[in-house]
Amino acid sequence: MNVTIDKIEVVSFGKLKNAVVTADSGINILSAPNESGKTTLASFIKFVFYGFVNTRVQTIADNDRKLYTPWEGEVCEGNIHITADGVQYIVSRRCPPSGKEVFDITNRATGKSEFVGAIPGEVFFGVGEDVFSRTLFFRQLTLPQSKDELLADRLRNIAISADEQVGTKKALSRLSEAKNELKGKLGSGLLPKAQRERDELEEAITASADMRREIVRLNAEIKKRATTVAEAEKKLGSLDAERRNIEKYEALTRLRNIKRLEVEEETARLEYQRVSSGLKKQDEGGIEFRELFSKNTEYVAQCRDFENIKNALKNAEDDRQQLDFETAFDSNEGEDIAETVNKYKKLPKLFFISGGIAAVGGLFVFLTGAVWGLLGVVLGLILASVGGVMLGRPNSIAKEHGYETVEELENAIKNRPIIEEKIKQADLKIAELKGAYEDSRARCFRLKKELDDGIGAYIDVADGDYNSQLEHILSLSAESGEKLAVWRLKRDNLEKARDGIDIDSLTEEAKGAVMPEREKAKVDREISFYSSQVAQLSDLNRRDELDLVSYEAKCGDISAMVGKRDSLNARVDDLTVKHKAYETAMKFIESAADDMKSMVAPRISERADEYFSAATGGKYSSFEVDTKLSMSFGEDFRRSCDYLSAGTRDSAYLSLRLALADILFGGCGVPIMLDDAFVRMDDTRLRMISGAISEASKKHQIFILTHGNRERDALDEMGIEYTDIKIKNIN
């Protein structure tokens, strides 16, 4: 029977809840991170077709029922839509936390149940759960054990072709027809029908008895849970009181903290006020204070310039005075003095000449005998005396004007224009220096006033160096700033502690608080535990009460059902005897063809060799497997596949799996599940093995469940078509 899975609907199974996966024929890839539910989905498929088969195992990891039952205590439930030989079916299964599994195969076209009582996996695949798990359902590639009797028996029971065993086939065909009339492979025939009717009655009887037992159990469970709920509620009352005291103590702690912060804030404020009392104001940014330092630097420089200008002015005035000393007359007066000096230089010569003439003339006259000639001599002497007096007059004039000699006076008169030019330049320089002097003095005065005003804004201005006053302000400001920062921090902490808090309400809340014996988290965990317990148990009781009403309504007449069942048992026994007789005859015929069944291994080897050649790019040939599933390779010298590398051995195992799927299921297409099956393969080998998977997908539906994109990339690179599938949650 060719079977493909169309859609998977998970109501609740493990971590999956209300999930849907839609698949297509060929290759389907589900790529999702680890822990996302891929393996759970694969296990759900086996659950729907076969149910939980290892329920007696104690460990959770090996007990699927324990592993995949949801933690909330919900049932494992869901269905799978399939197409089998062109007919669409819905296979559903439901397994409550406690109780019997319920499954059904519904024809989608008719809406009626078919193959009632038959295991869905055996109906559609023709094999039990163990063979299904060993051939079609696996998480990693592993070699079937050489003594895997279940698979080996299944292989030996495959029918040989008609050409190889014509006579046996005819006999078996007639016996098979008679046997199938009683019981067909797909659950048809008189015996399965009678068995189904009997089983349905048995199930009804069992269900009725189970319901009555369930009613008793539910009543006991409800009563037991009610007692537990009452105890939990009592415990919750005690925990609530403890939790309330913790809240009160927390309020008391907050109140004490606020009181402490108030004291710290007040202390910091007073300390700041004490330090800052020496300052009239604060300059938090330091801008004004830096300007004062700048002004002080400018003031010092200006005072230095002022002194320099003052000294320069004094020197200029001294030089000017020296120029005045060098000459005591102006240009006109100098000319008059020069004329006077020249006159006195010329007159003595004139008097000397006149006196000489008069003296010589008078002497001559006197010698001639005239007495009045003596008057000429006297006059000459007088004139010579006057000339002598006049001869010293220029030096007298020089001394009158402050010069030692007439030559110095004459030089002074001669150099008067040069000195006047020097005086003019000196006067200009003095005027310029006086202007600079006044400007510098004004600037010094202005800067001094600004410094006095600026420093006075911080402290009372004192006599002395501005630098020392500014350093004093800086010291006070720094200390005050530190105290201010501390105060603000304490104030902010206090404001945060007070934010949104009503002190009166907090005080009232803290009344009666005592030191808690336990931490709040521990109490909260217990409250959460008991609250959850009350909620869960109450919810379970409500659900059980509804089930109780339902069971009481569904209980039927067990005695009537038992009578009808006994009648059907007799018919089943009769039909079973006939069926066993047919089976015995067929076994005798089949035993005669055991030597022919050894041909099954070559058929598997041939098919597996095709897959293995595709999976290894033709590197290994003559792949063989015997009826005990031992694998080997090589043409001239045969070697066990155990000598291959891990990745190549995985390729060999996959090839055998695919060949088994082809042979075991009579050439029919069936779903094959590969859950993280290629983790040990490198990318190159994965690309090659994609060819084998592509070949198998022509007949079988392939599901590749993986946590990465390597498989998808390999298929894309090889140009192999596939379908991306997703786990979709339905809210």
pLDDT digits (tens, 9 = 90+) for 576-603: 877 787 677 667 556 644 543 455 567 7
Query: pLDDT band at 285, cuts 50/70/90?
Result: low
Query: Do 426 and 441 contact (CB within 8 A), yes or no?
Result: no
State yes or no: pLDDT of 153 exceeds 50.
no
pLDDT in the model for residue 402:
67
State yes or no: pLDDT of 422 exceeds 50.
yes
State yes or no: pLDDT of 560 exceeds 90.
no
Backbone angle region of 666, left / alpha / beta, with phi > 0 → left and psi within -120 to 50 → alpha: left
Q: What's the whole-number mean pLDDT along residues 350-374?
A: 72
Q: What's the whole-number mean pLDDT along residues 511-532?
A: 91
| Burial (Cβ within 10 Å: 0-12, 13-18, ≥19) of residue 30 | buried
Model-level pTM? 0.42
pLDDT digits (tens, 9 = 90+) for 471-521: 776 667 777 778 878 888 999 998 998 888 888 888 888 899 999 989 989
pLDDT in the model for residue 622:
63
Task: Give the count of alpha carbons within 13 A of 508, CB side only.
Answer: 5
Query: Could you give the dihedral angle defined by the CA atoms of residues 691, 694, 699 and 702, in that order, rounded to the nearest 10 degrees?
Result: 120
pLDDT in the model for residue 151:
43
Query: Do 112 and 104 contact (CB within 8 A), yes or no?
Result: no
The span from the CA of 433 to the CA of 446, in Å, is: 19
Cα–Cα distances in Å, from 3 out to 9, 120, 223, 417, 585? Answer: 17, 12, 49, 138, 31
Q: What's the whole-number mean pLDDT along residues 654-662?
A: 82
The average confidence (pLDDT) of the chain is 79
473: nearest Cα among 267, 301, 291, 304 = 291
3-state secondary structure 599-656: CHHHHHHHHHHHHHHHHCCCCCCCCEECCCCCEEECCCCCEEHHHCCHHHHHHHHHHH
Question: What φ, ψ does residue 27 adopt, rounded to 5°?
Answer: -95, 130
